[in-house]
Structure 1
Amino acid sequence: MKHIENSLSGPGIFTRSVPGLGDFSLSPFNLEQDCHDLHRWVNHERAKYWQMLNTSVDDVKKAYDELINSRHTDVFTGYFNGKKSFLLERYYPGLTSLKEHFEVQDSDMGMHVLVAPPERRIPSFTRHIFTTILDFLFSEERIQRVVVEPDVRNKKIHRLNKRAGFVYQKQISLPEKDAYLAFCSREHYISARSGIPD
């Protein structure tokens, strides 16, 4: 995979540079510094499937304090050219209710992605965020398959997932939603990645 650069400088622990566009990077979520931005994002109508509309800053801080201290999820803030622009939750499906719906492998990793409300339109911006996140996840050699469980009503995310290489398997019922279970193997991602311009 091209344009993967690990960096400990700047805001990111992982950086992907896109020629002609800029740098996308990831950094561990900081509860004190990032919660106000996240609160604004999750209360935007486009984030309704995140299920945090009409929450307060304290609600968001409490929820993410619990998530960060859980055994199953890591949270990262995503930046575009140094500006906070997206959120990644990386989780271990074998430690969640998903384990009831498929045979979890040690090489599996789950992801949730939230993109900030755009200030201006950038062509293929969300697709580049997906590419950055999947490059990051697959940069760990142990990971051979990424798992997602998007809300069945979220048609936009289904299109993005499929373009990134996810294969939809079945519909499942989770405590918080009806979802599709989908997988993206390393091989499927490399194949899909070859069709994404840098």
Structure 2
Amino acid sequence: MTEPTAPYEQHVVGFGAVRIRPLDPASDADVIHRWVSEERAVFWGMNGLTRDQVAEIYAHMAGLDTHHAHLVTKDGAPAALFQTYEPAADRVGACYGVRPGDLGVHVLLGPAGPDGPRPGWTSALLTVMTTYALRALDRRRLVADPDVRNTKAIARFERQGFVRGPAVVLPEVDLPDVYLPEKHAQLAFLDREVAFPG
């Protein structure tokens, strides 16, 4: 899966310019390490890793054709980590019937800015990410697989229009370059026709 290297940008009325660009494993490592080390990011699975370990994981991902990491910024300030992947090339592909045009997504929102949480911001940010994935990348359906215990993320995806699928167990991955423990996940799907009716 080749993704654009040029940034995708969308102006969100009342919030500012949201940009999605490829994550730079070296220069973005500090901010990503800070985010994934927070207690609220426990389901991301990187608590306890060093900055260099986080940079190494994303450097490995940058060399893949099937998995991509993006930094989402708002008026130039980091706002979210957005990962996309081909479900057929991921362990989730063994857990549901992958369709042509499916794209897997992982979202880690950055902490609230200096002014604190703003009503509607999370929804606006997710709308930009889903628009990028479904329209700019020309995909038919998005697949999310949050941890079943991450009720906040599941509810957030549902508010965004995702429909719950089955709860599944993603198998352990133990390869020379990658280790992922078994994960109990709640699948959720967003069809392009639902996100953009008419």
Q: Is TM-score (shorter-chain normalized) higher than 0.5?
A: yes
Query: How far does residue 118 in structure 1 lie from its aligned partner after superposition?
Result: 1.5
Query: How far does residue 141 in structure 1 lie from its aligned partner after superposition?
Result: 6.4
CA distance in structure 2 between the aligned counterparts of 1:55 and 1:142, rounded to whole angstroms:
34
In structure 2, the CA distance between the partners of 1:112 and 1:151, relative to structure 1 (3 Å rule), is same
RMSD: 1.7
In structure 2, the CA distance between the partners of 1:167 and 1:23, relative to structure 1 (3 Å rule), is same
CA distance in structure 2 between the aligned counterparts of 1:59 and 1:81, rounded to whole angstroms:
28
Tell me what 1:182 maps to.
Answer: 188
> What is the one-letter code of the residue matched to 2:155?
R
Whether 2:93 is the aligned partner of 1:99: answer: yes
Tell me what 1:173 maps to.
Answer: 169
Whether 2:152 is the aligned partner of 1:156: answer: yes
Report percent identity of matched pairs: 29
Tell me what 1:54 maps to.
Answer: 48
Q: TM-score, normalised by structure 1?
A: 0.86
Alignment of 1:39-188 (within 5 A): 39-119=33-113, 120-140=116-136, 142-174=138-170, 175=172, 176-188=182-194
Structure 1 stretches (4+) deviating beyond 3 angstroms? none
In structure 2, the CA distance between the partners of 1:107 and 1:56, relative to structure 1 (3 Å rule), is same
Unaligned runs of 5+ in 2: 173-181
Unaligned runs of 5+ in 1: 1-7
Query: How far does residue 102 in structure 1 lie from its aligned partner after superposition?
Result: 1.6
